[in-house]
Structure 1
Amino acid sequence: MNEENMMSISKKIVRRWLVTAVTLAVLSVPSILFAQDYRKPDPVQEDKLELGKKVYFKRCVWCHGVEGGGDGPSADRLFTRPRNFIQGTFKIRTTDSGELPLDENLIKTVKNGLPGSAMPPWGEVLSNEEIVSVVQFVKTLVQDRDFSGDFEELAVQDFGTMPWSVKEPYYMGVPQEAIDAGKEIFQKNKCWECHGGEGRGDGNPTMKDDWGFPIVAADWTQCWNFRGSRRDPYNPFHVVRTVSTGLNGTPMPNFKDQITVEDRWKLAAFVNSLCPRKKIDALTNKPVNDFLIGSKYTEGPVSTDFNDPMWQAPEHDPRIVNRPEGYEGDQKWHYIALAGQITRGKRNFDPKVDNLWVMSRWSAEEQAVYYLVEYHQRFLGDDPEYPEAVAIQWPGKLEELFGAEKPYFIYGDSKKPVDIWKAKFLPKNYSPTNAPNPDGYDLDISVVELVGHGFEDVSEKETPGGVEIVNSKFHQGRVKIMFKRSLTTENPDQTDVQIPTKSFIPISFMQWAGRDKEHDEHMAISTWAYTILEPPLPAERIWLPPIMAAVFFGFQLWLVRMTKRTRQMHAEGKAN
């Protein structure tokens, strides 16, 4: 064999080894690298800057500031703080962690807003041209990055597709084994360190964003507040995207290298299963408020045990999904929306609690009514000067109201007083930085009864009406308070609400976060709703259904017998 042939054979051998090595290297590379599309950032569209600037200084400057530093006139009143554009750190993206967003990401954010923050959906106010233009102007405010530079390259991620053939509300049909696997992934990756043991965001009270401002982890049980989830709050894709990309500027990292795409969908299935299904109001992107709280009739005494079956009810709205298999109770949770009180004093734009869950029972034997009030609050305060508090407000002279007439919803007025049941409390042996306590915390709690004739005239009753707190607990970011009071009282000044049965009674709620030093009119508050003490079932409602069932069953037996007899007569020739 000559030298030329030997060199040719050697080259072939080397080439084969190179191909094999490259193939093995490719196979060893994590699949995530092939789930990305690398591209340059979208350059600034210069022809749209003039219109974009006009829109920005008319709509956006008040929060984001003149230079985009997140320091506008309203910024100090908002939680979380408005986005600082200077560094180019944007939360909602389909690009990799730390990278610039695509135009389509920014346009969607401006159009849909960011639920759970002060960023509204500008798509309901601005035209598409205005939204595209203001996005271009915002990109010019970024100083530390260059959308038009040659050194930026964006990795656009592929999040895969939902493994299950389910549609909104994305709950029924997801295999339980996927949800269980997602819970294991949650525990393995220590998501509870920030999001808490039951997902209410109560894991870490010391987190800050990149600019040093306080920030909290998402409450997974209130998925309508997830950033980037507007118009589609129950879609697990939002969880997959956030786990894949992280949230720039926050402590939330990406987990694309730690968790496979398949496992991210399982984690999303678990997170998604924690959120109660309620019909969403398209305007507010919050659950539709329940304006009627039914108080269930109880023949004997009402249990004060939170775990008693009479207080068990799924948080899922039966209009959206079926109640769990085997559920035999007659209760449901009522959703009551709260908002910051902004009419007086320090303008409170940033209450940490934006809803309550309420259920109620009343006892014919005790002639008393019970209201169980629950709300999610990640961390409680420990300063006796600023106790935590929640209150139920009633018309003080219900019998004197005509038709739909009600007192002013904040402390009443001089002509129409209000009766306020206020529970004030501090947790025992608690610190926000404690390790998780599976048993929760008992509360050092007291109740005060107030009479309100307006902002300047709120005082304690000289003769209380007998309101009691019969049970209370703080557990994994959830406060539970059970109020009790007799239906009627003998208060001589007649400011106690006298609670009738089978009548619609105005009711509203207040909540103070002691950790945020809320007090007096600095609080979260609901508008007036109604409650009704439901009457017992009439006797005929109890015995009539069995009788009707027996009659129907007897008719069916007679029909079967007559059919068999007719067939037999035909067979014997006795009938044509």
Structure 2
Amino acid sequence: MFGPWIVLALAAGCSDADFAAPLAYEEQPGMTRELEGKSHLADKPRIRERARAVMAELYGPNPKEIHVPEGAPLSADESGVVGGLLGNFVRTAEGPRKLPHAGGFALYRRHCLHCHGLSGAGNGPTAPFVFPPPRDFRRGLFKFTSTPTGARPTRDDLRRSINDGLEGTSMPAFKALLTEEEVEQVVDYVTFLSLRGETELAMIEEGFLGEDEDPDALEDDIVQDLLSVVFGKWEDAEDRVVDPPTPRTPPSPESVLRGRELFLGRTKEKLECAGCHGPKGRGDGQSFVPPDVFNRVVFRGDPSKMDERVALLDEPTRELWKQKLDEWGNPLRPANLTVPVYKGGRRPIDLYWRIAKGITGAQMPAHYPGIDHDQIWDLVNFVLALPYQPDLLDGPGVAAEPEAVAEAEAARR
């Protein structure tokens, strides 16, 4: 119907006894809200069941039976089978064939499911107790990438997050726990969950616009077009990496001072960094709720009752709070730049990406081409110097690069 696919059996060593209920993908809210009439906008039972049937055929009816759609942008295993890294058995025309690895699904269940959930929805059993919340993979949006805001990550972006973790969050580094081959398997499985989620969202949107009586709603050709769009976003990622055209400006006192002036909005570009990160860089800008209010709402009390604590805020603060949510509905917390903790990585190129192209899903905007590449490097140098020179935002001068920073820079090179 939609072309051949690979079917992967449940990985060995992961018993269903680990779960109290049968393994099942969690549907995204739109499947019922938009297509079942719960929003009072639509009631399309035929389209809804068609969407569910297509999802089961394309990606498998449950995580125990994984289908890989033809053309999916996943890597091939050692025998050339695309999607073979997801499990340790591949069903072929000749019958099941065992592969020499546990598979991305098994590794994901062992290391990732407790936070990110079985479907990649970011709602695993430990998710309510960590902040920032685990990522929901199903929209294909990832914050810390080398690609433009809103674009899909490269494999190297996902690989880096798995290997190095996200500093300042509950996402640990797995480089010491997983082999290179296992990391590739996890990258493939995370990508698989994203492809599946994006396809489901695309069909919900298409179904919402269609008529339930239309016999051609979500027909094969339409589904193939939706798949092409979803797959294309991932296939194009490698070509969209934002590589700086100029090498990093040496972190001299002069460069740091220029970065400070940009940060404070004193140049003709009138950047508004201090509006979020605060005039002292402590993450307490006027456009965000005060840190003490944030901490009281997010970290004090039952995690499931955070909305009730938000409702108790005074009206101006409550409205400001609602305006400062990320794409997943979570409250934002601007980085305290006086502390050398950088979620997306501490290499100069990591900070370059954050400044030049912004952060997907957050309210950190892209600053290129508003400022040029040399200015971006000046800002990078300022941000890296600030934790070791807190008086940078107190007075007009700046000392030579501290020895600790110089040593760290030498190590990165």
TM-score range, shorter chain: 0.5 to 0.7
Pairing 1:47–2:84 present: yes
What whole-Å deviation, never above 9, does each CA across 1:404-459 have from its counterpart, x for those lacking one? xxxxxxxxxxxxxxxxxxxxxxxxxxxxxxxxxxxxxxxxxxxxxxxxxxxxxxxx
Distance in 2 separating the partners of 1:269 and 1:79 = 28
Q: Which residues of structure 2 form unaligned runs of 5+?
A: 1-70, 77-82, 88-102, 200-226, 290-320, 390-398, 408-413
Distance in 2 separating the partners of 1:175 and 1:319 = 14
Structure 1 counterpart of 2:198, from 144, 147, 158: 144
Distance in 2 separating the partners of 1:268 and 1:82 = 27
5 Å-filtered alignment, 1:362-381, equals: none
What whole-Å deviation, never above 9, does each CA across 1:196-253 have from its counterpart, x for those lacking one? 1111111112332212111201111112x20232xxx3x4322211112322121212
Distance in 2 separating the partners of 1:318 and 1:246 = 30
Q: Answer whether contact 1:181 1:266 (CA < 8 A) is retained.
A: yes
Partner of 1:241 in structure 2? 353
* C-alpha displacement of 1:262: 1.4
Distance in 2 separating the partners of 1:319 and 1:83 = 33
Distance in 1 separating the partners of 2:167 and 2:372 = 27
**Amino acid corresponding to residue 280 of structure 2 in structure 1:** E
Q: Answer whether contact 1:93 1:245 (CA < 8 A) is retained.
A: no
Structure 2 counterpart of 1:192, from 256, 270, 274: 274
**Amino acid corresponding to residue 54 of structure 1 in structure 2:** A
**Amino acid corresponding to residue 47 of structure 1 in structure 2:** G
Q: Highest Rg: 1 or 2? A: 1
Distance in 2 separating the partners of 1:178 and 1:319 = 18
Structure 1 counterpart of 2:333, from 208, 212, 216: 216
Aligned residues: 233
Question: Relative to 1, partners in 2 of residues 1:158 and 1:87: Cα closer, same or farther, differing over 3 Å?
Answer: same
Distance in 1 separating the partners of 2:403 and 2:157 = 35
Structure 1 counterpart of 2:258, from 172, 181, 184: 181
**Amino acid corresponding to residue 326 of structure 2 in structure 1:** D
Question: Relative to 1, partners in 2 of residues 1:236 and 1:49: Cα closer, same or farther, differing over 3 Å?
Answer: same
Distance in 2 separating the partners of 1:244 and 1:319 = 26
Q: Which residues of structure 1 form unaligned runs of 5+?
A: 1-39, 166-173, 278-313, 323-576
Q: Answer whether contact 2:151 2:233 (CA < 8 A) is retained.
A: no
Question: Relative to 1, partners in 2 of residues 1:98 and 1:151: Cα closer, same or farther, differing over 3 Å?
Answer: closer
Identity %: 30
* C-alpha displacement of 1:150: 3.7
Q: Answer whether contact 1:53 1:134 (CA < 8 A) is retained.
A: yes
Partner of 2:100 in structure 1? none
* C-alpha displacement of 1:164: 3.8
Partner of 1:268 in structure 2? 380
Question: Relative to 1, partners in 2 of residues 1:318 and 1:134: Cα closer, same or farther, differing over 3 Å?
Answer: closer
Q: Answer whether contact 2:385 2:405 (CA < 8 A) is retained.
A: no
Question: Relative to 1, partners in 2 of residues 1:162 and 1:221: Cα closer, same or farther, differing over 3 Å?
Answer: farther
**Amino acid corresponding to residue 86 of structure 2 in structure 1:** L
* C-alpha displacement of 1:321: 6.5
5 Å-filtered alignment, 1:23-42, equals: none
Q: Answer whether contact 1:44 1:148 (CA < 8 A) is retained.
A: no
5 Å-filtered alignment, 1:17-166, equals: 43-45=74-76, 46-50=83-87, 51-142=103-194, 143-144=197-198, 149-150=231-232, 153-154=236-237, 155-165=240-250
Q: Which moved more, 1:206-215 or 1:153-162?
A: 153-162
Pairing 1:255–2:367 present: yes
SS at match of 2:241: strand
Q: Answer whether contact 1:44 1:139 (CA < 8 A) is retained.
A: no
5 Å-filtered alignment, 1:264-343, equals: 264-276=376-388
Q: TM-score, normalised by structure 1?
A: 0.38
Question: Relative to 1, partners in 2 of residues 1:321 and 1:264: Cα closer, same or farther, differing over 3 Å?
Answer: closer
SS at match of 2:354: helix
* C-alpha displacement of 1:180: 1.7
Runs of 4+ residues deviating >3 angstroms: 40-45, 145-148, 150-154, 160-165, 316-322
SS at match of 1:208: coil
User: Going by fraction, where is strand more abundant, 1 or 2?
Assistant: 1
What whole-Å deviation, never above 9, does each CA across 1:250-299 have from its counterpart, x for those lacking one? 1212222312111100111111110229xxxxxxxxxxxxxxxxxxxxxx
What whole-Å deviation, never above 9, does each CA across 1:152-174 have from its counterpart, x for those lacking one? 63322112454445xxxxxxxx2
Highest RCO, 1 vs 2 (Cα 8 Å, sep ≥ 6) = 2
**Amino acid corresponding to residue 49 of structure 1 in structure 2:** L
**Amino acid corresponding to residue 279 of structure 2 in structure 1:** G
**Amino acid corresponding to residue 198 of structure 2 in structure 1:** D
Question: Relative to 1, partners in 2 of residues 1:319 and 1:257: Cα closer, same or farther, differing over 3 Å?
Answer: closer
* C-alpha displacement of 1:114: 0.4
**Amino acid corresponding to residue 128 of structure 1 in structure 2:** E
* C-alpha displacement of 1:107: 0.6
Q: Answer whether contact 1:97 1:254 (CA < 8 A) is retained.
A: yes
Distance in 1 separating the partners of 2:140 and 2:329 = 16
**Amino acid corresponding to residue 85 of structure 2 in structure 1:** K
Question: Relative to 1, partners in 2 of residues 1:41 and 1:175: Cα closer, same or farther, differing over 3 Å?
Answer: farther
Distance in 2 separating the partners of 1:222 and 1:42 = 39
Distance in 2 separating the partners of 1:263 and 1:317 = 21
Question: Relative to 1, partners in 2 of residues 1:138 and 1:265: Cα closer, same or farther, differing over 3 Å?
Answer: same
